[in-house]
């Protein structure tokens, strides 16, 4: 820590937090009980991959801010300076007009996305996905008499917290108690080969399984009627649903199906985007051409709020092809999509990614970490499958390797808790997402990670598995 805190006594901050802050994804009962009071954790400072809490305890962050966000690490003064300078110059105007950082970042971003051409700014991943959904619905009314309005989504995928995004989200525990949902969202099966037996595809593997998993999407399209389906929204690699890397044969077949039935392909890069998997965007591993790409999180590494809904020129042109129609444009606005801090931070974030060769580091360190996770399988019977791409990795824990019965969620949580309590290493897990399958440890260290950082993470997980499972 730099020692610049106004006071070493943060008890007032803790009490203010306890009394007034509603934390995300948290049960607060433990903070409020008079006989068993637990202090909320306050993170005070960050540098590189380390963060310090209110007690001055140093933590190694293996989840980039808890939700796969801080891609270039903490304490980047150049990003803070870029944001400060821009805010003094021009902080905001609604997105009906342009700004210098918005124009410059859009140009820089599109240079990394061949085939894409237009950037719509918003402030969160949920909002970016909402924009994509609204585009699909408006196109359905403009061109197809409202018929081609259905949006397909995949089991285990996650697209955000709004009601429409939950309607198109494949994590039933995330969705529980928030219905009724927006009509017109249709689920397709997941593509986790490790769980192929649950789909009746246990005799298939590799490309054969990948093609079969994609063909299951076509079956849904034919069941619903191709003339009613407007878009397919997928994560390139499923994140919170278990870190699922699609097998060979999957993505080419998905692209083929979308073209066959004139269905827009919407890729949700909110987690994978900006280098997380070793390429600028996850879909670029697979040689496909999406129509809509959404992103947030790593776009500015958490230094400012920003998200983008990026489209092809063909999609953009559908909103300006008839000037005689007074409704023939995208009648949408995101208030904070007009903030200049986001694109200013994103420009500097992208410079850091390029100048420090962090995509190359992500590939190298990701390969190293995946090897280390694989090695844990030799020591721990509960380590069922290690998977991932780049610095976006998961370790699925099982009670029985032969049957692949998932390890109980409470035991997985104990592993995560042990890493935090003993070693101050912050790792994640599938968090109340898929009933019965919240059994995957999740890792997304910043793209600046070194071998020493990864060794520390692996050593902590190794010790936690031993302590919890024996």
- 428 backbone φψ class: left, alpha, beta (φ>0; ψ -120 to 50): beta
Identify the CATH number of the domain in which residue 381 sits.
Answer: 3.90.1150.10
Same domain, 344 and 206: yes
Same domain, 135 and 55: no
Considering the domain boundaries, does residue 281 fall inside one? yes
Last residue of a domain, one of 356, 383, 417: 356
Long-range contacts of 465-468 (CB under 8 A, 24+ apart): 465/376, 465/379, 465/380, 465/382, 465/383, 465/415, 466/380, 467/418, 467/422, 468/411, 468/414, 468/415, 468/418
Residues 451 and 201: their CA atoms lie apart, in Å, by: 38
Per-residue pLDDT of the chain (470 residues; tens, 9 = 90+): 554 544 568 989 999 999 999 999 888 888 877 665 788 999 999 999 999 999 999 999 999 999 999 999 999 999 999 999 999 999 999 999 999 999 999 999 999 999 999 999 999 999 999 999 999 999 999 999 999 999 999 999 999 999 999 999 999 999 999 999 999 999 999 999 999 999 999 899 999 999 999 999 999 999 999 999 999 999 999 999 999 999 999 999 999 999 999 999 999 999 999 999 999 999 999 999 999 999 999 999 999 999 999 999 999 999 998 888 999 999 999 999 999 999 999 999 999 999 999 999 999 999 999 999 999 999 999 999 999 999 999 999 999 999 999 999 999 999 999 999 999 999 999 988 999 999 999 999 999 999 999 999 999 999 999 999 98
Same domain, 301 and 363: no
Last residue of a domain, one of 314, 330, 356: 356
Q: How many CA atoms lie within 13 A of 366 on its CB side?
A: 22
The count of structural domains within the chain is: 2
Secondary structure of the chain in HEC code, one letter for each residue: CCCCCCCCCCHHHHHHHHHHCCCCCCCCHHHHCCCCCCCCCCEEEEEECEEEECCCCEEEECCHHHHHCCCCCECCHHHHHHHHHHHHHCCECCCCCCCHHHHHHHHHHHCCCCCCCEEEEECCHHHHHHHHHHHHHHHHHHHHCCCCCEEEEECCCCCCCCHHHHHCCCCHHHHCCCCCCCCCEEEECCCCHHHHHHHCCCCCCHHHHHHHHHHHHHHHHHHHCHHHEEEEEECCCECCCCCECCCCCHHHHHHHHHHHCCCEEEEECCCCCCCCCCCCCHHHHCCCCCCEEEECHHHCCCCCCCEEEEECHHHHHCCCCCCCCCCCCCCCCCHHHHECHHHHHHHHHHHHHHHCCHHHHHHHHHHHHHHHHHHHCCCCCCEEEEEECCCCEEEEEEEECCCCEECCHHHHHHHHHHHHHHHCEECEECCCCCCCCCCEEEECCCCCCCHHHHHHHHHHHHHHHHHHHC
Backbone angles phi, psi at 358, to 5 degrees: -75, -25
Same domain, 229 and 321: yes
Considering the domain boundaries, does residue 341 fall inside one? yes
CA nearest to 307, candidates 318, 299, 319: 299
Last residue of a domain, one of 336, 356, 376: 356
pTM of the model: 0.96
Q: By residue range, what is the domain housing residue 101?
A: 78-356
Same domain, 388 and 335: no
Identify the CATH number of the domain in which residue 167 sits.
Answer: 3.40.640.10
Backbone angles phi, psi at 119, to 5 degrees: -120, 120
Residues 150 and 300: their CA atoms lie apart, in Å, by: 32
Considering the domain boundaries, does residue 34 fall inside one? no
Distances (CA, A) of 467 to 203, 291, 395, 416, 428: 36, 48, 17, 11, 17
Residues 294 and 310: their CA atoms lie apart, in Å, by: 6
Same domain, 343 and 448: no
Same domain, 334 and 430: no
Distances (CA, A) of 239 to 68, 173, 193, 468: 9, 15, 15, 25
């Amino acid at each position: 820590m730099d020692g610049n805190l106004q006071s070493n006594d943060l008890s007032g901050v803790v009490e203010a937090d306890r009394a007034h802050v509603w934390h995300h994804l948290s049960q607060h009962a433990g903070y409020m009980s008079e006989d068993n009071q637990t202090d909320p954790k306050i993170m005070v400072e960050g540098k590189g991959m380390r963060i310090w809490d209110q007690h001055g305890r140093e933590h190694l962050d293996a989840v980039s801010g808890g939700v796969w966000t801080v891609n270039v690490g903490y304490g980047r003064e150049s990003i803070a300076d870029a944001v400060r300078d821009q805010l003094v110059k021009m902080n905001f105007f609604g997105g009906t007009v342009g700004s210098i950082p918005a124009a410059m970042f859009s140009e820089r971003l599109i240079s990394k996305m061949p085939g894409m051409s237009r950037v719509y700014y918003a402030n969160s991943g949920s909002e970016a996905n909402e924009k994509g959904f609204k585009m699909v619905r408006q196109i359905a009314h403009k061109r197809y008499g409202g018929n081609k309005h259905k949006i397909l989504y995949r089991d285990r995928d996650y697209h955000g917290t709004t009601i429409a995004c939950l309607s198109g989200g494949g994590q039933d525990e995330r969705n529980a108690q928030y219905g009724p949902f927006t009509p017109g969202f249709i689920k397709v099966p997941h593509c986790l080969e490790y769980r192929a037996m649950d789909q009746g595809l246990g005799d298939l593997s590799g490309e054969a399984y990948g093609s079969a998993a994609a063909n299951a999407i076509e079956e849904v399209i034919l069941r619903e009627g191709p003339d009613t389906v407007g878009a397919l929204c997928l994560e390139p690699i499923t994140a919170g649903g278990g870190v699922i890397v699609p097998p060979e044969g999957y993505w080419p077949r998905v692209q083929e199906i979308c073209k066959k039935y004139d269905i827009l392909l919407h890729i949700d890069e909110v987690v994978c985007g900006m280098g997380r998997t070793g390429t600028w965007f996850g879909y670029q591993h697979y040689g496909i051409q999406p129509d809509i790409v959404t992103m947030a999180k790593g776009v500015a590494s958490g230094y400012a709020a920003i998200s983008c809904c990026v489209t092809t020129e063909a999609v953009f042109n559908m909103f300006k092809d008839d000037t005689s129609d007074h409704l023939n444009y995208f009648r949408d606005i995101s208030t904070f999509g007009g903030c200049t801090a986001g694109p200013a931070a994103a420009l500097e974030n992208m410079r850091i990614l390029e100048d420090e060769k962090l995509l190359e580091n992500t590939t190298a360190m990701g390969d190293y970490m995946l090897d280390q996770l694989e090695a844990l399988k030799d020591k721990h019977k509960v380590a069922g499958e290690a998977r991932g791409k780049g610095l976006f990795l998961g370790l699925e824990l099982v009670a029985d390797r032969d049957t692949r019965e998932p390890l109980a969620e409470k035991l997985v949580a104990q592993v995560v808790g042990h890493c935090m309590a003993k070693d101050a290493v912050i790792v994640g897990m599938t968090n109340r997402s898929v009933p019965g399958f919240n059994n995957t440890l999740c890792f997304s260290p910043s793209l600046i990670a070194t071998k020493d950082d990864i060794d520390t993470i692996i050593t902590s997980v190794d010790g936690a598995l031993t302590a919890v499972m024996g």
